[in-house]
Each structure stands twice: as C-alpha cells, then as structure tokens.
Structure 1
Amino acid sequence: MAGVDQNSNTVLQGIARHINCLGEQNRNVKKKALEDIRKETLNRTPRLEVDDLQCVFNEIVKPLLKVLSDTVEKCRELAIVLILDFLKSLPNPDEYLSYVIPVLVQRLGQQEIVEPSEEIRLILIQLFSLLIQKSGKKLSVYLDDCIKILQRTIVDPYPEVKKESCICASNLSKAIPEYFHMQSESLIKPLLVTISHQHAKVRTIVVETIGNVIQHGNGKSVDTVTSHLAQRMFDQSPIVRTAVTKVVGGWLLDLADRYSFHHKLIPLLLSGIIDEQPQIRELGETLWHDVGLKYESENEDDLKDKSDFAKPPPSHYPPSIDRPNLGCRTLIMRNLSRILPALVRDLGDWVAPTRVKSSALLYVLILNAEDYTTQHMQLLLNGMYKACCDEETQAVKDIQRSAELIGYFVEPAVWCKMILPNVRSSQSLGPLMVLACVIRGSERKSLKSYLTQITETILFPDVCHSFQTPMQDQLLACVESVITTSKEDVADISQSIFHLLLTVSALAQAEATKMKVQSLLTKLCQVLNFQSLEEIFRSCSRPLIESFRESYATWNVHSVERLVFDSLIMAAGPVVGEHLDDIIPILVCNLNPEKDAEVRLKFFSLLSHLMMNAANTLDSHGKFGDFAVTIVKDMILPNCVWKAGRTAGAIRTTAVSCMWAVLQCGVLTKDKLEPVVEDVITQILVSMDDDNKSTRLVSCRVLTRLFDLMGGALDQDRLHNMYPELLKRLDDSSDEIRIMVSKTFLAYLDCFEDKYDTNLYRAHLEAMYRGLLVHLDDPETKIQEAILDVLKKAAELKPSLLMNELEQVRHKHRTSRYCEDLLSYSQKLTNL
C-alpha cells in the first residue's frame, strides 16, 4: 500500500472484502461484490480524484479480469462494464494493455466463440475500441493480438459487434500506420465476408473500413477488393453507394500506390457519376474533378506542353455539358486501353443491371476520352453493336448517347471506314442504330463529303429491303439524323433519301412506321424549300421509275421494287399523270396473261385505285385518254379470257372491274373506244356467263355503260346477236344480276336507230318480245316491274307486234295487271 494517499487507502480497505468475494462460488455473492465495488469507487460521493482511481484500479484490475471467465453472465457483464468505466476515467489506460489485451484475445480472438453473450461481446469490443483510441502508438507491440481479435469480431454473428469492430479496425489503421501496413491484408478477407451483410449500415461501415485499412495499410489489397466494391455500386441502399464513392475517391486522391490502380479505381468512381441519386452523382463529379486537378499538379512537368499550348475548346462539343479538366481527360487517355476491354465484356453480361451500368459508364468514358476514342474504335463499336440489341431499354438509350459522342469526337473519315462496311455486311440492327446516332453527333461541314457514301450504304438492297420493323425504324433514324445534321446539304442526296423513304414505306408493316415516313418526307421538303409534298414527288419520281426499267419485266409478287413502285404510284397523286409514258409500259408488262396471277391481281388493284380518282392521278394532266385504249386492249381484255381455277376467276373479276372503272372515269370517249368496242363487247358477253357472280354483275354494268356510250354507232346485225345473251342472264340465279340486266336491256334498246326496219327484222323482235314476256310473269314482283319497264321501251320499236305476242300469253300469266298496263301503253303508241 505504499505510495497511495489516504483516500485511496481508505477505499481499498473498504472494498477488500468485496474483492475477496469475487472468488466465491455463489453467484449472488459475486454479483453483490461487483456492485459494491462500483458503489465504493466510481459511484463514490464525493468522487475520487483521478490519481486515487488509478491506485484503486491497479489493485482490482486483475481480480476483475478473472471474473471475465466466470460462468455467470451477469457477473461477467458487471466486471467488464466496471473495467470499461474505470479506463474511461483514467488518463493513461495504455498502462493496462498487458493485462487487458490477453484477456480480450482469450474471450474474442479464438477460432470458436468463447463469449456466448452477444451483449457482452459488444461491451468487450467497445473496451477494445477505447484502448485503441487512447493508446495510440503503444498498441504497436500488441498489433498481432489486435489483428487476431478483429479477424474474429468482424465476422461476428451480432451486427453491432461487426460495426464496432470495423470502427476499431479503422482507428487501429490510423493509430499505427507504420506498423499496421504489415498486417492489414489479414483483415481484408473478414471484411469482404461481411461486406454483403443484410443490414445496409453494416455494409456501409465495412466499405468505409476497407477504405481506411487499405489507405493506411498495404495498397496491394486494392486488387482483391475492387470487384467487391464494384458489386456494392449496385447496392439498393444509397448510403452504401455513397460510401463506395467516397472511399474510391479518397484512394484516387491520397492512396500511396494509386497510380498502379488507376485502371481499376477510375471506373468505380465514374460509376458514382452515373448513379440514379443526384447527391451521389454530385459527389462523384466533385471527387472526379478533384482527382483530375491533383493529377495535373502532380504531373505538371509532363502536362506542361498541353497546358501551355492547349488547343482551344472544341467548337463542336455536346451542348449543356461541362468539359472535364485536363487531368481527368489525361487519366482516361492513359488508362482507357486497360478499362475498355473489361467494360465491353460487361456490356454483354448476363446480369441486366451490370449491362445497364456498363452502358452508362461507357458514355462517361467517351466524354472524358474525347478524340482519343479513335484509337479504340474497333473494340468499342463491336461492343456497341451487340449492346444495341439489349432488352433493357435504358442500356440501349445509353449506348445511343455514347454513339452520338463518337460523332462529336471522331472524324467521319474514321468512323465511315469502320461502320459503313459493317452495316453492309451484317444487315443487322446494331450497326444501323450506331450509325444513326453517330451521324446525329457529327459536325455538318465535316459530314458533307460523306453523305453520298452513307446514303449509298443504307440504300444497299440487302440493308434497306428489310421487312422487320426495328430495322425499318433504324433506317428512318439514319435518314432523320442526316436531314437534321446536314440540313440544306441533303439536296445532293435527296433522290437517294426519297428512294429509301419510299422503300421503307412500301415494306412497312406498322402504321407508326408509315407515319414516320410521311413526317420525314415533310421534313425533307422543308430543308429543300419545297412548298408541298407534290413538289418532291415531281422532282424525284421520274429517276425512281427509271431505276425500275431493267427489272420490271421480271417482277414477282415478292419483288421489293414492285412494292416500291406501288407505294410511289399510290402516294404521288397528280404527279402520276406526268409520267404515263414510263408508268403504262410497266403496267402492260406486268398485266400480261403469262405473268404470275398474284402479280396481275396486285397491278389490277393498283390500276383500279388510280382510276377511281383519275382526275387527280392518271388524268391529272389530261393525257390518260391517250393510253385508255392501250389499257383496255393490252391489259384488261387479255385477262378476261377464261381459264380454269379460282385465281384465274379472281383475275377475271378484277379485270372486268377495272374495265368498269375505265368507263366510269370518263377518259374513254366514243371515238377512242370505237376501234376496240367490238372486242370489248365480245369479251364482256362471254364474261356475263362467268361462274363468278361478281364477274357477271360487273359485266352487265360494263355492257350497260358501253351501250350508253356508243349509242347508235353499233351495227344493227351486231345488236341482234346480243339479245339472246341478255335474255339468258334474265334466268340468272341472282336477282341482283337479273335487275341489272333489265337496266342493260334499256340501254341496249336505246342503241336501235330511229329508222330501224321492223319488218325486215320482225323475227328478231318476236324472239326478243317472247323472251321478255316470259319474265313478266316472274314470281318476284321487283323482276316483273323491271321487265315491264323494258317491254314498254321495247314496244316503241313495233307496238302492234308486241300486242299480238302479249295477247297470245296473257291468259297464262298469274296476274293480268302488268299485261293490261303493257297493252294500254302499247295501244297509245299505236294511236300516235
């Protein structure tokens, strides 16, 4: 007891019995002893001086430490809390390291968990933390023991112990860095085991600890931890991602070996710049800027020429983007070759978030690399082509943004040599999408010399003859990029663009694609200063039609050129009338009866559509009449000839309908029809007996129109040959056709001349009258009424003869009303 003052001596005398009781077996006695020791020391009133406390603790520290191995949990807890509170009150707790550290190693640093209570393990690690904070350099002697403890407690099952252990590891690394670096690698493995813990706070503090352990320890561990930190950049918790960004930024600024790890650390920091959280993005941008500035200052001599003779900022630079400083750009330039291969691999990773993050990171890399990207174009483009087909929309958007940057930083002379051959050879979505974006980012004046080369590539048949909507959309994206970037410069390639737009429209399956074509045609008109779409069709239609000259004779139903021709003619409107000399031969050739039936059906459909609005299409310039006879003679009549089969029947129906359209549009005048009228009538009479109802019906309409048009120009003998065919149609199975034939009869009767010799042709009139009178007794009232009108018209030729015929059959009719009406009408004609 020598050397202690009166107070401490008194205290020790008072607690001597309590200290002895710590060795008792009775748990309650030990517990009461610990409580009394606290009461007589730390909780004594008035409080003991520090020196007195230290004297007391010197005497009781060993007995208290023995209690830490006690079987009673509460006793262990009271003892360790008592030790902890004593050490907090003492100025130099490091004096007790030789006593406390071995006990901590025994309780916490074993392979198996010795201390079963989570709460007591937490208090023990808090005691350890206190010793680290207050002991400083003196811990170096116990470094091995400290590491042994932390290796176990960092992976402790209790999250609070994990967190406190990480704090201990960080503080230890800062306290004795000159010694710690030799043992730091020993903590990396347990930290990496804990870095994926389910609690975000644990993951956060582990990341921060890794930062400190490596910062003050052995930098070689960076290789080990970077992949794990990269995974944490995908963490759902923003605080974890923030911690990674801070740690990596700190390493890039202050880590001794950072130059060796630039290629691994830079992608991690740049990942913070593309984070979804604004705060993390701002933090990443700030740190990256600072890293660049520090790199500039550390390499001032190397970068002196670039700084002193720096090129002016690029005139063609992405808008609304702050250019990275020289240090950032140089760092990327010097490390891109080591970063890019791994990043391109990740663009095709099987995990979707990895692909999304990699595509966004690629944008930041190119933005910093600028024109240095040129040296890595082949690798870069191959990765981007594949990434363009990613099912993740965001990944594709970022790849498109990256491709646009290539347009800003790489000369067209370079990317044209690489992208255009790939567009031709692969005929796939990726190269086209990249091309569209690169064009969009290019400078107008530098792009001008390559416009022809670009349009020739995308107009290459294997590229533009695609029926796939995504491919068509990218073709249109290329056109839009060219128009938007080059503006008036597209005048030299307007024909190619027009051709491409018509091709896409012809092959488009989606209505949205066709609408996009119309939008781009309008945009093209605007940059060419055309007032309407009609002007661009007038300017570009003839060269396009002439381009079909060598191929139209071999077109089939699947020929793309045929579809483009169809699309052009349907959309050209009045311009069609200007090019009949080129259009009609194509129609004649493809309506040849020897041609495939489906092809002929398509062309008849096109022709019918045009003739329905002939005034604004075929006859817009009043020239269609010159070709009307050709249409009838060389297109329509040959296809009306009967052939077996349903397809042949459909063609006959279409051909007769087309004849009806020609007659309806009014371009086929009497004079022009006269040379072919005999052939037309002959064929139409045959068609009136066709198996197809529609063919028969339309044939009746055509014949009616022919009679109205030709009138008395038809030969009387020819007329006499026709009525038997008309009478036959009155027996048709379709009442609609019978009604139509009655109208045909009316037009037919108008063709007889006023000086018609009824006596000479009495036999023909008798036959016609008799045939008509049969149908006056038809079961259908509407047929009776229609035939009554025909007979009244026929009565005008020779009423007396009709009256005689009527008298012979009237008694056979089921009703006399129509007969009496007809007799009365004929009688009036006789009296005239």
Structure 2
Amino acid sequence: MAAEAEGDRRAASEALQAVARHLNCLGEESKSARKRALCGIQKEVTDGRLSGVALQQVFGELLKPLLRCLADPAERCRETVIQLLSHCVGGVPRPEEALPYLVPALAQRLGSSEIVESSEELRLALLQLLTLTLEVCGGKLAPYLDEMVKILQRTLLDPFPDVKKESCKCAALCARSIPEHFHIQSESLIKPLMQTISHQHSKVRVAVIQTTGTVIQYGNGKSVDDVLSHLAQRLFDDAPQVRQAVTTVVGDWLLDLRDRYSYFHKLLPLLLSSLNDEIPEIRQLAAGYWEKVGLQWQKENEEDLKDKLDFAAPCPQWYPERVDRPGLGCRELIFRNISKILPAISRDITDWVVGTRIKASQLLTVLLLHAEDHMTQHMELLLSTLYHACLDDESQVVNNCVKSAELIGIFVNPEVFLKLILSALQKSPSPSHLMVLAAVIRGCPNQMLIPHLNKIASTLSQPEVCQGSEKVQYLEQLLCCVQALIKVCQGECSEISLQLMKVLITVMAVPAGEKLEEKVREIMQLLAVVQNLGGFLDLYRQHIDQLMEWLLRTKQHWTSYSIECLQFEIIVSESGPVIGESLHHLMPILKTCLQPTQEPQMRLKIFSMLSKLLLKVNETVNSQGQFLGYVETLVKDILVPNMQWHAGRTAAAIRTIAVSCLWALLHCQILAATELLQVREVLMPQVITALDEDSKITRLMACRIINVILQICGNQFNPDNLNKLYPEFLKRLDDASDEVRIAAAKTLITWFKCITDDYERTTYKSHIEFLYQGLLIHLDDPDNSIQIAVLETLKEGSSVYPSLLEKEIEAVRHKHRTPDYCEQLLQHIKSAKDKRDADILAASKV
C-alpha cells in the first residue's frame, strides 16, 4: 500500500510540474495560447496516467483556474474546460471536495436571470456536468440545494429542447438523491415544469411529465393540486408516449405517494380515463396499475373490509356480458370517492371542448360500472347530467351516456329511476329524457321491469308525452322506448299492448312522423309477434274497438290541426280490412266530422281518406259484407249535405271531393237497385246540380254517376223522370271539356236503353224530336272524337223512334260538313228495320 501511495504522489507531482507552465498561459490575451494551454492540461490529465488519489491532488490544484476559464470568451476553450471538469468529477474518489467551488460556478453560468452561457451545446454540457456531480456526490449536495434549484428553474425554461430534457433528468436525480431536503424546495420547480409541459416536442413533454412525477413523489405532495389540470390536459395529447407517461406517473402516485389518500378523488379520474385510451398498450398499462392500486388499498384496509372479504357478495346476476368485474378494492375506492368525482364529471361533460366532453362521458361509464348499486344515492345528479349530455352534437358523447344509462338500468332498482325519469318526462318532455328512459329499460332485467310496465306505458301514452314534440329526434326516441319495452318484456307486453298502439299511431299521425312510418310498422310487427299474433293487422283487430272509442270521446272538437283527426286517419287507413269490423264506430265519427258546419279543411282531409277507402271497398269498409247497411246514412247524412252549393273555392273543393266519393261508391259495384232507389230522391237533384259546377272534374264525375245510376236502376225511372234528365246532358254536349262531352254522350246511350214500353212515343214525340235534333247538331262537331261518340249515341237512340230520326237526318244532312256520318246512321236504321222485318216474318211462319 505504501508503494502504491508513493507511486500516486510521484505521478501527481510529475503531472503538476507538466501542467504548471500551461496554467500560467491561461491568463494570456491570445485565444490560441489559452486554447493550447487547455489542450496541454487536458492531455496530461486524461492520458490515463492519473487516477484515484493522484487525480484528486491534480484536480485540487486545477479546479479554481479551470472554473475561472468557464467565463473564457472563446467557446472552444469553455468546451475544453467543461470536458476536463467532467473527467475529473467522474474520476476522483472525493468529488464532494470540489462542490464549494464547482456548484457556485455552475450557478453563475446557468442560474442567472439572463442567459450567461450563450452556446446551447455548452449549456447542455454544463447541465450534464451537474447531473454527473449529482450521480457521484448524491446526498452530499444537500447544502447546495438552493443553487441547484435556481439552476433548474432557469434551464427548464431554456429555449434548447435538449437542455430542457437534461434539466428534467437532473431534477429527477436531485429529488431522488436528497429527498429529506428536496421536499422543502420541490414547489419551486413546479411552475417551470408546468410552463414546459406543453412544449412542441413530444419527448420534452414526456420528460417533463416523468420529472413532475418524481419531483412530487419526493417533494411536497401538496403540489398535486398545481399539476392536476396540466396532466389532465396531456391525456388529450396526440402523442401516445405522452399519454402513457401521464398514466405511469398517476399510477405510481396512487401506489406510492405519501399523501395519496388525500388525493384519491383527484387522481382516480386520470388513471381511469386511460382505461378508454385508443392505444391498447396504454389501456393495458392503466388496467394493470388500477388492479395494483385496488389490491394495495384492500390490503391496507383489511380490517375495515373484513366483513366484505369474509362474506363476499356474488356478482350481480345481470352483470354486463363480456365484462370482468373489478376487484373489491377497486370498487370500494370508487364507492368512497364517487360523491367527490361525480360533480366534476357533470361539469366537464358539458364543457365547450369536444375532447373534454368525450373523456368525461367515457369516465362516467367506467365509474358507474364500479359503483354498481351504490350509484342509487346519486341518481338525481346522474340523471340530470345524462339529460344534458344526451343532447350533445358529438355522437361519441351521446353513445357513452347511453351506455351509462344502461348501467343504471342494470344496477339500480327500477322503482327509483322510474320515479325520477317519468316525473321529469311529464314536466318537460325532451328527446334526452326519452333517450335515457329507453336506455335504462334496455339495461333493466325483465323480471325487475315487468311490475312497472303499466306505469311506463301509461306515461308514454299520455298526450303531453306522446304529443310532446313534432321533431323527428323526439319521435325517434319515443319509438326507442316502445321498442325497448317490447324487446325486454316480450310476451308480457300484452297487458300494455293498447297503450303502445296509441303511442305508435300518434307517432305516425304527427306530420314529421311520415319519415318514421317504416320504423313504426316494424315495431308494430314486433309487438304482434311477441303476442303470437299473425301481424300488425291482427294487432289492429285486437284493439280496433278500443282505439275507435278512444277517438269517439273528442270527435265533436276536431279540426284539421287536431292530432285526434290525424290519429283517426292513420287507424282507418292502416287497419285495412279490419276497419270493416268497426263500422258502428266509424260511421258516427264520419257523420259528426263531415257535417257542413265543421271546419272545411278537416272535411277535405277526411273526404280524401274516405274516397280511398271506397275505391277498395271490399278490402276496407266492406271486408265483412256489412257496409250496405250504412250506405243510406253515408249518402243522405254525409255526401248529400256536402254536395249542396255554397259560395267559395273551399266549398267547391268540398263538393268535388264529395262527388268523387259518390263516384267511388258507385264504381265499386256493390250497390244494387234496392239501395240506390232508397236514396234516389235526395241524391239525384244534387248530382244534376253538379253538372253545372265550374270544376271539370265535378261535371265529369256527375255524368259518370248518373250513367251508373241509369245502368243499375234506370228501368225503374218513369218517363217524366227520364225526360227531366236528357236536357242536362244535351247542355253538357256543349261543355268546354271534350272529356265531359264524351261522358255526356255515353250517358245518353244509357238513357236511351232505359226507355221501356211505358214510354209512349206519340205522347213524348216532342221530347224525342228535340233530343234527336240536338244530337244531330253535334254529329257535325269539328272534333272527330265527339262525332264518333254522338254517332254511337244516335245509333242506340234510333230504335226509339226510327222514322222520326230518318226525317230529322234528311232535314239536316245537306248542311253537314261530313255527311258520311248521316249516311252511316241512315244505313244503320235501314239495317235495323230489315232485321226487325225478318224477325217478324220468321215469327209469323212459326
């Protein structure tokens, strides 16, 4: 050992002699001279001959001159000095002996309010020297903590990113090296760290987060409050490494922070938010930390949890599928902190920043999964939060809130949540109330929900709820509630089937509900299936009388804007053949609503519906063959009063639609002569009057109606009745519409066919003569289609009084522009006469 010591002294002496002349040159004005001197010293010190004690002796002599050179104007000289100092600090056995001089020198270069060391690379090298000093000296740097903190406060804000990262490394090392003193000064570093936490380089952000974790872990735990908002913001960082760093720091705090019990309610949301991160690795990291935190807390509180550990409650029967139930410690942590966490989530879930709202909604779902039935005592706040959040424009927020509402349905007694939700729905119905209700119904087990079916269905079918809004979004959610009830309760829905039908019919009746018709029919089909019915028509059949009675109570007060009027149209139109089973309800409603004293617009709508029914009479009102018993009421009490003339366009429109209904009734061919004769006296005058209407459609329909009446019971008309008709049709041959003129000609054909032996030709010769003359005028019409129609009419009419017609033809044919039709007509008369003569001759022979 003595020989070794002697060797060290000799090596140190030789080195000191070698560098002595170089030291003298360090004060030279020449930059090159100083540079050569420093290079010479570097060569002597770093050539490998000096180590241990020898290097310590040489370093002791070189320290002060070298530190003075840190202020050398030449950057290259300062760089060499830093390299020399680093070599010596890392190589000497007692580096702490240099601290009284080294640390102040570093503080002078790095810790001033203004940047003293201008070179970024040298500031980095100086910081690396300080880091090295911390590594080799450890706790012996405690007396110099103030200087180091002063340095770090400046360098953490350095413009050079690498200096920031090295500062973070140095600060973390300082915290770990002298924790017993560091906690006094730790708060001084929080502000610069938080100023740097949003730096544009992700690696800097990661370093700052990690350092913040260490500084608070070994420092003052009260600083958690100062950094929480910054760490929370980093959970939205685009860089996964940054989010992972936050997760790690928060997880470590929850495990190791001395005051962690005081900050559980603030730290838990940050860790649990990472359970929904888009990166699987981060989710797994957070889940691992969360499991450790729960187990550690459970172990630390074994006495408090003794009963729950010894008599562990089984997993709830209806626990969400494919979801692992968190451990007891994790659940208990949430139970005890949820009252402090929920208000913050409630606030953040309506924040103006979309990302914040999404994170808050995700966190709410995680919390409720842990809280289980303990969320019951927070239902008012929870539901209020969900009502607001479900109105969000961001679909992710809404979807997460719906999941939360489904968890409420799983874990909370339906008596509790239904009392609150249904009450809120009745007071101020909105789409969000319905959305939450639909979600809790979907989540609720059917055994728990069935006792409350009537209460839910009655609320939904109340006018203030099912008619609460005409907006599509509201109606969609109303349908979601109905669909959820049917899917959850299945066949048990038979007891509320009528209420659900009322809701579905109301949705379809609302003007905006037209867009949802297909969805309504789909739900009706589902309601029929769960009751083992053949389809939605069977559903109507099951409730048709109750539905009609539901509407009968208010029929006196309907207008075109009444929802009841729209509901009536839907029931009648959608029930198809089923409506034929409820004519005893249908006709009183029609009779009341189609009185001339009722609102014209409503009458137009109902007449339009009625005309569609009559066009398919055997598939609708006559599906049971009972409609004929109501025809007299329909014609006398409904159609005829509305065909009477009143001034105004609306009145004209009503007359037109009433005539159209009459035409549809006759066109369906279910009426026989008996039914028509019962109403002929009141009907015919109104139809004849309709021939003079301004509306072409009305005139056309009137012609066709009389044609059908003549076809069915024309042979029951006496000659006087017939003679009152033909002048009206002669006038129609002068109509402005060719279509009406042709219809009038066809009706006259039928009129001629109605002439029987009771019609005395000689007595009524003047009528026949007048009719022939009128028709012959139109036989020369400029329109060829009219000529052909009149020709067919005259051919049919020629058999009534052939000789008279021949005489009339001869009198006018020379005046016709196209006498060919006269020739055809004469030829037809001659052929008919020859045929009659032949028949008579044949009969006489027999």
1:121 counterpart residue number: 123
Structure 1 residue 80 displacement after superposition? 1.0
2:417 counterpart residue number: 415
Equivalent-residue separation in structure 2 for 1:19 and 1:515 (angstroms): 97
Equivalent-residue separation in structure 2 for 1:73 and 1:508 (angstroms): 82
2:530 counterpart residue number: 527
1:280 counterpart residue number: 282
- For the 8 Å contact 1:469–1:508, the answer to whether it is kept is no
Structure 1 residue 50 displacement after superposition? 3.5
Equivalent-residue separation in structure 2 for 1:678 and 1:90 (angstroms): 131
- For the 8 Å contact 1:472–1:508, the answer to whether it is kept is no
Equivalent-residue separation in structure 2 for 1:259 and 1:222 (angstroms): 12
**1:650 has 2:653 as partner:** yes
1:26 counterpart residue number: 30
Equivalent-residue separation in structure 2 for 1:92 and 1:2 (angstroms): 19
1:391-540 to structure 2, matched below 5 A, reads 391-465=393-467, 466-507=469-510, 509=512, 512-540=515-543
Structure 1 residue 788 displacement after superposition? 0.7
Structure 1 residue 47 displacement after superposition? 4.6
Structure 1 residue 508 displacement after superposition? 5.3
- For the 8 Å contact 1:433–1:477, the answer to whether it is kept is yes
- For the 8 Å contact 1:629–1:668, the answer to whether it is kept is no
1:107-256 to structure 2, matched below 5 A, reads 107-256=109-258
- For the 8 Å contact 2:558–2:564, the answer to whether it is kept is yes
State the one-letter code of the partner of 1:742.
A
Q: What is the TM-score with the length of structure 2 in the denominator?
A: 0.96
Equivalent-residue separation in structure 1 for 2:248 and 2:520 (angstroms): 50
Out of 671, 678, 681, which is 2:681 matched to? 678
SS in 2 for 1:372: helix
State the one-letter code of the partner of 1:763.
S
SS in 2 for 1:197: coil
Structure 1 residue 488 displacement after superposition? 1.6
Equivalent-residue separation in structure 1 for 2:93 and 2:689 (angstroms): 124
Equivalent-residue separation in structure 1 for 2:428 and 2:76 (angstroms): 76
**1:723 has 2:726 as partner:** yes
SS in 2 for 1:349: coil
- For the 8 Å contact 1:555–1:561, the answer to whether it is kept is yes
Out of 376, 380, 383, which is 1:381 matched to? 383
State the one-letter code of the partner of 2:250.
V
State the one-letter code of the partner of 1:603.
I
Query: Aligned-residue CA RMSD in angstroms?
Result: 1.5
Equivalent-residue separation in structure 1 for 2:219 and 2:244 (angstroms): 22
Equivalent-residue separation in structure 2 for 1:93 and 1:708 (angstroms): 128
Structure 1 residue 5 displacement after superposition? 2.5
Give per-residue Cα distances to partners, 1:155-175, cap 9 Å, x unaligned: 111111111101111111111
- For the 8 Å contact 2:56–2:93, the answer to whether it is kept is no
SS in 1 for 2:115: coil
2:843 counterpart residue number: none
Structure 1 residue 603 displacement after superposition? 0.8
2:844 counterpart residue number: none
Equivalent-residue separation in structure 1 for 2:684 and 2:807 (angstroms): 32
SS in 1 for 2:736: coil
Structure 1 residue 4 displacement after superposition? 5.1
Distance 1:605 1:161, change over 3 A: same
- For the 8 Å contact 1:404–1:439, the answer to whether it is kept is yes
1:596 counterpart residue number: 599
1:792 counterpart residue number: 795
Give per-residue Cα distances to partners, 1:681-740, cap 9 Å, x unaligned: 221111111001111111111111111111311121111011111000000111111111
Equivalent-residue separation in structure 2 for 1:223 and 1:595 (angstroms): 72
1:11 counterpart residue number: 15
Equivalent-residue separation in structure 1 for 2:709 and 2:667 (angstroms): 10
1:62 counterpart residue number: 64
Equivalent-residue separation in structure 2 for 1:94 and 1:813 (angstroms): 139
1:807-818 to structure 2, matched below 5 A, reads 807-818=810-821
1:559 counterpart residue number: 562
Q: Does 545-554 or 390-399 show the bigger shift?
A: 545-554
SS in 2 for 1:375: helix
- For the 8 Å contact 1:799–1:829, the answer to whether it is kept is no
1:547 counterpart residue number: 550
1:676-825 to structure 2, matched below 5 A, reads 676-825=679-828
State the one-letter code of the partner of 1:41.
V
Equivalent-residue separation in structure 1 for 2:642 and 2:453 (angstroms): 46
Equivalent-residue separation in structure 2 for 1:439 and 1:95 (angstroms): 75
Give per-residue Cα distances to partners, 1:401-432, cap 9 Å, x unaligned: 00010011110111111111100101111211
Give per-residue Cα distances to partners, 1:170-198, cap 9 Å, x unaligned: 11111111111111111111111111111
2:842 counterpart residue number: none
1:826 counterpart residue number: 829
Q: Does 77-86 or 617-626 show the bigger shift?
A: 77-86
Give per-residue Cα distances to partners, 1:478-500, cap 9 Å, x unaligned: 11111111112111111111111
Structure 1 residue 569 displacement after superposition? 1.3
Give per-residue Cα distances to partners, 1:482-532, cap 9 Å, x unaligned: 111111211111111111111112215255521111111111112111122
Give per-residue Cα distances to partners, 1:9-62, cap 9 Å, x unaligned: 2222222222222111111111222222222321x2x65434333332222222
SS in 2 for 1:467: coil
Give per-residue Cα distances to partners, 1:249-301, cap 9 Å, x unaligned: 11111111001111111111111112222211111111111111111000000
The count of residues paired between Structure 1 and Structure 2 equals 830
Q: What is the TM-score with the length of structure 1 in the denominator?
A: 0.98
Equivalent-residue separation in structure 2 for 1:165 and 1:510 (angstroms): 65
Equivalent-residue separation in structure 1 for 2:476 and 2:499 (angstroms): 17
Identity across matched positions, percent:
48
Q: Does 80-89 or 629-638 show the bigger shift?
A: 80-89
Unaligned runs of 5+ in 2: 837-846
- For the 8 Å contact 2:28–2:34, the answer to whether it is kept is yes
Q: Does 8-17 or 618-627 show the bigger shift?
A: 8-17
1:104 counterpart residue number: 106
State the one-letter code of the partner of 2:188.
S
2:349 counterpart residue number: 347
State the one-letter code of the partner of 2:389.
A
1:549-628 to structure 2, matched below 5 A, reads 549-628=552-631
Q: Does 351-360 or 754-763 show the bigger shift?
A: 754-763
- For the 8 Å contact 1:800–1:830, the answer to whether it is kept is no
Out of 637, 640, 661, which is 1:637 matched to? 640
Structure 1 residue 367 displacement after superposition? 0.8
- For the 8 Å contact 2:155–2:163, the answer to whether it is kept is yes
Q: Does 84-93 or 387-396 show the bigger shift?
A: 84-93
- For the 8 Å contact 2:53–2:93, the answer to whether it is kept is no
Equivalent-residue separation in structure 2 for 1:755 and 1:671 (angstroms): 21
Out of 334, 337, 343, which is 1:332 matched to? 334
Equivalent-residue separation in structure 1 for 2:12 and 2:353 (angstroms): 68
Equivalent-residue separation in structure 2 for 1:694 and 1:202 (angstroms): 83
SS in 2 for 1:668: coil
**1:308 has 2:310 as partner:** yes
SS in 2 for 1:547: helix
Distance 1:87 1:512, change over 3 A: farther
Equivalent-residue separation in structure 2 for 1:667 and 1:755 (angstroms): 29
